[in-house]
Amino acid sequence: MSREDRLGWGLVAPALLWTAAFFVLPFLAMLALSFAHMEGREVVHGFSFGNYVKAFGDWSQLKALVNSIEITLTVTVLSVLLAWPLAATIAWSVPPRWQRAALLAAILPFWTSYVVRSYSWALVLGKTGVLNRGFGLIGLGPYEMASTRFATVIGFTHFFVMLLTLTIYANLVQLSPNYLRAAQDLGASRLRAFVHVILPLTLPGIVTGAFVTFTLCIGDYITPQILGGNNELTLPQLIMLQMGRGGNFPMASALSVILMAVVTLAYAACARWLRLDRL
Amino acid sequence: MKRLSFLYLALAYAFIFLPVAVLVVFSFQDGRLPVPPFQGVTLKWYEKVLSDEGLMTALGHSALVAFGSSGVALALGFLAAHGLARVALPGSLLMRGLLIAPMTVSYLIIGLGLLTVFNQAGIKPSLVATGIGHVVINLPLCFAICFAAMGDHQKSAERAARDLGASEVQVLWHISAPMLAPALAAAFFLSVTFSWDEFIIAFLLTRFEVTLPVEIWSMLRSGLSPATNAIGSLVFLVSALVVIVLETLMRRKA
Amino acid sequence: MTASVTIDRVTQTYGGAMALHDVSLQIAAGEFVVLLGPSGCGKTTLLNLIGGFAAPASGRILIGDRDMAGVAPAQRPTTTVFQDYALFPHMSLADNVGFGLRMRGVSRGERRAKAAQMLALVGLPGREDRRPHELSGGQRQRVALARALAVSPDVLLLDEPLGALDLKLRRQMQDELKAIQRQVGTTFVHVTHDQEEAMALADRIVVMSEGRIADQGPPREVYLRPRSLFSAAFMGEINQVPVVQGQSAIGPYPGTGMLLIRPEAINVTGGLPLGEAVVTDAAFFGTHVRAHARLGDLTLTLHLPQGSDPQPGQVLALYASAHAFLETE
């Protein structure tokens, strides 16, 4: 090994060791634990698929996974659909000198504490909240919006619209306006220019943003806990419940492994467009 | 077309700012519940929050964990990026992948994994344990930002410094770090933001000394109160102010 | 300070491909040597080996009497002026130039004084507090030179330092570089692919091709009496007339090989008669008139004096005033 190589290893080693010790090892430990089972309040190590069989076989458990995937897909699609026009408006219609300010304004609520953000939506959507008061003034409602899936989706979408606006905007401003001009010059209508030129060019940015949305959304505990309540559980809520109530770490681990598998599948589905290193 | 897009802009901003506006407005509520009707302006909830020892201690803990873990994450990420950019090591693509990997894993899973290992190793939940978890989530970010910022320009300046007699430590300190200063600052700032705001790892890995998000969480469980609005508004207004000041400074410089 | 450089049977490979084949070269202390050749000929590889940025696969490199095997760039008595200058963008010019001294533990005041002196040497007096981004390309080049010279290296290595400059500036910098080298007396090893630059600067030109030394000597000698076809062609346009067993297109010539005649050595008078040739075209180039003429199967390129005015179809009796002959065995 040359002096150069030793030096390179020396520089990389601390980060690698940290990642190995506090990321890879914990994951392996969790994986091992997911094959254990509980006897009373004691964890019994072993190798059984019992937890996985239960996770997929028991509807009360499987329902959480289904809920999570449904909510996450809804949120991801909704966020992209709402964020794209916002990013495009800022990039194309707002005068250049105001663009940074407009973008900053669009993501400023990022800096509300994350727990507080969900709480704020609870205030807005609650039975006596601002929205229902507003509806009351025009003789509607009150509607039951808090502690529903609707509230969870709104809370998530609010956060991810901001995130996606940022990534899509970054993507759009890199595009030369000449692409659109060239397409139209060659006879494409606005719609066709959009479908054939702009959309493919911004796809990597959209997919990357959507993947991050998917990952963060499906693994989040706070938003469904505060806004969705306990009427229907998401996977992270179920994981916390397994751990908290019964101290059933093996089951929690198995559910976590399933959660990670879902994210991995999502990753595989959009890997060809992903640019994680350019986030 | 133009009018339509500005209408959309207005609606989008309304959606984005609605919860924040409600949060801030009802933090001044002169009443017991942060919901309409608005009963007049008072600062008593701010007073209550600022004199709440538990909250203020948690605030200190959060700052400690955020700055400490970000410092460690930045140092590790910077050194690793420097090493991987400089030397063509076998398996360097694999190493990059491994370092980036935690980015794609839910915080809940990272927290749960660490809790499992710490339990088995007999390590008690603490601020240090939380800090370790926060380094795990911020290291990929710091590494990726530093790695992306290291161009050919950087490499040739480092080579020139070595040629002029600089040791490897001197190269890092006098050349690499100052040249990467903007990227390092951005990575540090983002790390602090993420760590400051992180809930689930802190929730799982702390017990007696908690961070601010965990403390706010326990406030929430005792029901709606304008005090929660006050602490939330305070955190938001201070962070927003910092962001706006940084942005203006950066604009002036550019 | 100055020192000799000895390259002793050095071979270098890059991922299986030969970059240098058994190269030996002796450079005297204080000499200005230019390594000349097309890209990929091994000249930059050789420079990197002297600077210590790579280690040779086999062979030795000595600076003065010291074997450089295992000595890192920082510890070598060499410094380099890089092609992209590699100035430190976050430092003032004084800090850039004083960087090497700082690494050697020289005090701040002394560094500053030396930096001022070096900047004056390269024609940038009083610019100590400027930053690299405020300078033009030519000025950056000068700073890079001052920075490399500030630590008084025994050998200065220059890696196509003028490559990024426009032609006019390049010619001007060549004159200054030569003057500075005379003043400091350091051994300069300079890499370029521009043969005019090589002739303007070098005490000795080393022409390289495919990892070997194709020719070497003072500019005049390499130009007028090339020792290989490659260096003959690389140094400038040249007419090649094959000679087989005493016979050639220009008539009898003793031996077998290649007769080499520069276009400007051909005229209507001279020592070696070439025969009667038919002008095919001609164009006025300012310093000379460039023409082509057919001589049997051969097309000759001529640089005739400014005042001449050859017409297509005109028949000229041509002579060569100078020529070289490369014998093949």
| H-type alpha helices, chain B | 2-25, 44-50, 53-86, 92-100, 107-121, 127-149, 152-163, 168-170, 177-179, 181-197, 200-205, 212-220, 226-253
Helix (H, G, I), strand (E, B) or coil at C38: coil
B153: contact with C, CB 8 A cutoff: yes
pLDDT higher than threshold 90 for residue C289: yes
Q: Are B228 and B45 in contact (CB under 8 A)?
A: no
Classify domain B62-228 by CATH architecture. Answer: Orthogonal Bundle (1.10)
Q: Are A129 and B21 in contact (CB under 8 A)?
A: no
User: Which residue of A1, A4, A6, A11 to mutate against B (max B Cβ within 10 Å)?
Assistant: A11
pLDDT higher than threshold 60 for residue A277: no
Q: Are C293 and C276 in contact (CB under 8 A)?
A: no
The closest CB to that of C74, out of B167, B175, B181, belongs to: B167
Mean pLDDT confidence for B173-177? 92
Q: How far is the alpha carbon of C124 from chain B, nearest alpha carbon, in Å? A: 21
Q: What does the pLDDT read at residue B36?
A: 77
| H-type alpha helices, chain A | 3-19, 25-33, 50-57, 59-92, 96-107, 114-125, 130-137, 149-173, 177-185, 190-193, 199-218, 222-223, 235-246, 249-270
Q: Are B19 and A120 in contact (CB under 8 A)?
A: yes
Q: Are C12 and C19 in contact (CB under 8 A)?
A: yes
Give the residue among C258, C312, C269 at the shortest CA–CA distance from C289: C312
Output phi, psi for C291, to 5 deg.
-140, 160
Residue that wins the pLDDT comparison between C14 and B212: B212
Q: What does the pLDDT read at residue C150?
A: 93
* pLDDT tens, position by position, A42-92: 777 888 888 898 888 888 889 999 999 999 999 999 999 999 989 988 988
pLDDT higher than threshold 80 for residue A193: no
The verdict on a CB contact (< 8 Å) between B197 and A260 is no
pLDDT higher than threshold 80 for residue B35: no
DSSP letter, residue A225: I
| CATH label, C237-327, candidates 2.40.50.140, 3.30.230.10, 3.30.230.30, 1.10.10.10 | 2.40.50.140
Where are the CATH 2.40.50.140 domain residues in chain C? 237-327
Q: What does the pLDDT read at residue A278?
A: 46
Q: What does the pLDDT read at residue A275?
A: 61
ipTM of the prediction:
0.89
Q: Are A10 and B76 in contact (CB under 8 A)?
A: no
Q: What is the residue whose two structure tokens read 């007396």?
A: C185
B165: contact with C, CB 8 A cutoff: yes
Structure tokens at A33: 């634990």
* pLDDT tens, position by position, B66-80: 999 999 999 999 999
Query: Does residue C240 come out as left (phi exceeding 0), alpha (psi in the -120 to 50 range) or beta?
Result: beta
The closest CB to that of B163, out of C80, C90, C104, belongs to: C80
Q: What does the pLDDT read at residue A274?
A: 67
Quick one: closest CA in C to B168, which residue? C74
pLDDT higher than threshold 90 for residue C297: no
Classify domain C5-233 by CATH architecture. Answer: 3-Layer(aba) Sandwich (3.40)
Cα(C215)–Cα(C206) distance, integer angstroms: 6
Question: What is the rounded average pLDDT for all residues in chain A?
Answer: 85
Burial class, A110, CB count within 10 angstroms (exposed 0-12 / middle 13-18 / buried 19+): buried
Helix (H, G, I), strand (E, B) or coil at C26: strand
Q: Are B91 and A7 in contact (CB under 8 A)?
A: no
Q: What does the pLDDT read at residue A279?
A: 45
User: Which residue of A80, A113, A156, A274 to mutate against B (max B Cβ within 10 Å)?
Assistant: A113
Q: Are B201 and B6 in contact (CB under 8 A)?
A: no
Q: What does the pLDDT read at residue B188?
A: 94
Q: What strand order describes the sheet that includes C324-327?
A: C247-248, C239-244, C257-261, C324-327
Q: What does the pLDDT read at residue B223?
A: 81
Apex A221 CA angle, B125 and A225, nearest 5? 115
pLDDT higher than threshold 90 for residue C219: yes
Mean pLDDT confidence for B84-107? 85
B57: contact with A, CB 8 A cutoff: no
Cα(B7)–Cα(A54) distance, integer angstroms: 50
Cα(B42)–Cα(B25) distance, integer angstroms: 11
Query: Does residue B63 come out as left (phi exceeding 0), alpha (psi in the -120 to 50 range) or beta?
Result: alpha
Q: Which segments of chain C are extended strands (E)?
A: 5-14, 17-27, 32-36, 58-63, 66-67, 78-81, 155-159, 187-192, 204-209, 212-217, 239-244, 247-248, 257-261, 266-267, 272-284, 289-295, 298-304, 315-320, 324-327
| CATH label, A54-278, candidates 1.10.3720.10, 3.40.50.970, 3.40.50.720, 1.50.10.20 | 1.10.3720.10
**Chain B environment of C86 (Cβ under 8 Å):** 156-157, 159-160
Helix (H, G, I), strand (E, B) or coil at C7: strand
- Least confident range of A191-200, A262-271, C161-170, C230-239: A191-200
Q: Are C263 and C237 in contact (CB under 8 A)?
A: yes
Mean pLDDT confidence for B210-221? 90
Helix (H, G, I), strand (E, B) or coil at B168: helix
* Tally: H helices and E strands in chain C: 9, 19
- Please report which confidence band the pLDDT of residue B254 belongs to, taking 50, 70 and 90 as the band edges: low
Where are the CATH 3.40.50.300 domain residues in chain C? 5-233
Give the residue among B136, B119, B123 at the shortest CA–CA distance from A249: B119
**Chain A environment of B108 (Cβ under 8 Å):** 219-221, 236, 239-240, 256, 259
The verdict on a CB contact (< 8 Å) between C87 and B167 is no
C104: contact with B, CB 8 A cutoff: yes
Q: How far is the alpha carbon of B36 from chain A, nearest alpha carbon, in Å? A: 6
H/E element, C175: helix C167-184
Give the residue among A236, A239, A255 at the shortest CA–CA distance from A247: A239
Q: Are A264 and A204 in contact (CB under 8 A)?
A: no
Amino acid in position B122? G
Q: Measuring CA to CA, how many Å separate A19 from each of A265, B88, B102, B113, B252?
A: 22, 21, 8, 13, 38
Cα(A205)–Cα(C25) distance, integer angstroms: 55
DSSP letter, residue B209: S
- Least confident range of B186-200, B238-252, C37-51: B238-252
Q: What does the pLDDT read at residue A161?
A: 94
- Please report which confidence band the pLDDT of residue C74 belongs to, taking 50, 70 and 90 as the band edges: confident
Say how many C-beta atoms besides its own lie within 10 A of residue A217's C-beta.
Answer: 26
Mean pLDDT confidence for A122-133? 83
Helix (H, G, I), strand (E, B) or coil at A270: helix
Amino acid in position C315? V
Helix (H, G, I), strand (E, B) or coil at A122: helix
Cα(C34)–Cα(C188) distance, integer angstroms: 8
Q: Are C55 and C67 in contact (CB under 8 A)?
A: no
Q: Are A60 and B174 in contact (CB under 8 A)?
A: no
User: Which residue of C71, C76, C85, C103 to mutate against B (max B Cβ within 10 Å)?
Assistant: C103
Residue that wins the pLDDT comparison between C109 and A44: C109
